Structure 1
Amino acid sequence: MNRITALFQNRKQEVLNVYFTAGFPNLSDTTTVLEALQEGGVDIVEIGMPYSDPVADGETIQESNQKALENGMSLKVLFEQLEGIRGKGITVPIVLMGYLNPVYQFGIEAFAKKCQEIGIDGLILPDLPVDEYFREYKKIFDQYGLLNIFLITPQTSEERIRKIDEISDGFIYMVSSASVTGATSGITPEMEAYFNRVNAMNLRNPRLIGFGIKDKETFQTASKYASGAIIGSQFVRIIGAAKDLKGEVISYLKSLR
């Protein structure tokens, strides 16, 4: 069974998904951060595949992408860094988050095959259209055991949400507001109305709320409206400034629960 599927069968509340950019702050930090996240008790790790134009991301994650690329990060390097991690005690579900162009350049099937070899559980590709995924890529991703995670926003129509729920597995990424990562602060009444509206649809997939989640208060508030939440920009800021990378990662995670 896919690790993401197994996770949501066993854990229904306060699922914590944390994002970081591969190769940031230093090229060799990818596995150090991954190990620290698992040790700190995170439920899902979302590893960003650096891209020169991360359109869904705000300044903090854009800058981390740029620094990682300058450090020499690429899909080839990332796969080399992650080689053998499942044999070294990493059991947490791993999602790769990025954009379609680098994956396309690598080769869709070659990418999916490499993900299976390493033990990657899912993908988030915000610029992959739903219809194109269903038509061109779903069979390949299914063949290699990869769950494709779609994003929805307050502007996403009910029809489209139901289509996403029908053709995907794992979880649905609920973007809290019409903004980029790191641009929102706190949970507003408008967000709560949106969360309630989606909950009333009785979707089969669990939801995780992202964008604007940064501390215990926002994590726990978001978790009242979904199965859990995703933290990205705040975590990237923390590792970017960390003097003791592993220690500060674990300390931050403990502050969330």
Structure 2
Amino acid sequence: MPNNRLTQLFREKTGNLLNVYFTAGYPKLEDTVTILEELEASGADLVEIGMPFSDPLADGPTIQASNMVALDNGMSLKVLLKQLEGVREKVTLPIILMGYLNPVMQYGFERFCEDAARVGVDGLILPDLPFAEYEEEYKPILEKHGLSLIFLITPQTSDTRIRQIDNLTNSFIYMVSSASTTGSQVQTNDAQQAYFSRVRNLGLKNPLLIGFGISDKNSFELACQTAHGAIIGSAFIKALQNPAEVRENVRGFLKSIKSEPTVQA
């Protein structure tokens, strides 16, 4: 079982965890490490770096567009891993790489895991990696390099499959809020609440982070009432589009999520 910054975080902090997603190479090619540094300074608990791909199936328009900009900027797996060299001298946040299987297989799965671990990556999210193939073929490779693989569950995921995922997971489970793409708003409807309750009542051993539709302080706090934390992606990508300097955009967005309520005298 990996013992990395990710597993350590979940041992040390049990609630209100903020996971922020951004696309590597967006808005500019060289922004990756700057954004990482500012996310840590501004209070993020962990971070997902999106590995740009031309056909990101689970992602909505905002993240799709950021993928295309990043690819046009010249971002690739090779460039990203080069940018992350030495990042652990500056950043202690757990780092997850999120993307799709095709570029990873082109790079070479084990070579990719080896290089990612070498530069300080703690985990991977590969939504299109088949569950059975992971269990049979890829799990030993990830474990060899100390990497956690994070699985997604949705309202359509059966209790049996959720329990299988929980048994194979050693960090957290990514709880997709609804059957939609990224950027869709969290809806506090009866069906969604029934889904949240169903998963909560399974008594899973791994923490849950809710993603898809978490966009502001209110939706973040709402998600934290149900799960151990939440993942913000599309709303953060939009914040990076502001004309201000990238550090200022990161700082301002995280302040809007994590600010304490003002106390009236």
Output the TM-score relative to the length of structure 1.
0.98
46, 56, 59: which one aligns with 1:57: 59
Q: 1:115 Cα deviation (Å)?
A: 1.0
Match of residue 213 from structure 2: 212
Q: CA-to-partner distance for each residue in 1:9-29, whole Å, 9 max, x for gaps? A: 111110000000000011111
**8 Å Cα contact 2:178/2:186 also seen in 1:** no
Determine helix, strand or coil for the equivalent of 2:240: helix
Match of residue 34 from structure 1: 36
Cα distance in 1 for residues equivalent to 2:204 and 2:47: 23
Cα distance in 2 for residues equivalent to 1:233 and 1:111: 26
Cα distance in 1 for residues equivalent to 2:231 and 2:107: 27
**1:19 and 2:21 matched:** yes
Match of residue 194 from structure 2: 193
**8 Å Cα contact 1:187/1:218 also seen in 2:** no
Output the TM-score relative to the length of structure 2.
0.95
**8 Å Cα contact 1:187/1:222 also seen in 2:** no
Match of residue 235 from structure 1: 236
Match of residue 248 from structure 1: 249
User: Where do 5+ consecutive residues of structure 2 fail to align?
Assistant: 259-265
**8 Å Cα contact 1:100/1:128 also seen in 2:** yes
**8 Å Cα contact 2:24/2:50 also seen in 1:** yes
User: Where do 5+ consecutive residues of structure 1 fail to align?
Assistant: none
Q: CA-to-partner distance for each residue in 1:60-113, whole Å, 9 max, x for gaps? A: 0000000100000000000111111112x2100000000000000100110010
Match of residue 5 from structure 1: 7
Which one is further off, 190-199 or 180-189? 180-189
Q: 1:184 Cα deviation (Å)?
A: 2.4
**1:146 and 2:153 matched:** no
Cα distance in 2 for residues equivalent to 1:186 and 1:44: 24
Cα distance in 1 for residues equivalent to 2:256 and 2:188: 19
Match of residue 106 from structure 1: 107
**1:127 and 2:131 matched:** no
Cα distance in 2 for residues equivalent to 1:104 and 1:115: 14
Cα distance in 1 for residues equivalent to 2:65 and 2:59: 10
| Amino acid in structure 2 at the alignment position of 1:61 | I
Identical positions, percent = 56
Cα distance in 1 for residues equivalent to 2:191 and 2:45: 28
| Amino acid in structure 2 at the alignment position of 1:97 | M
Q: How many residues align?
A: 256
Cα distance in 2 for residues equivalent to 1:100 and 1:75: 12
**8 Å Cα contact 2:99/2:127 also seen in 1:** yes
Cα distance in 1 for residues equivalent to 2:198 and 2:216: 24
Cα distance in 2 for residues equivalent to 1:167 and 1:13: 22
Determine helix, strand or coil for the equivalent of 2:183: coil
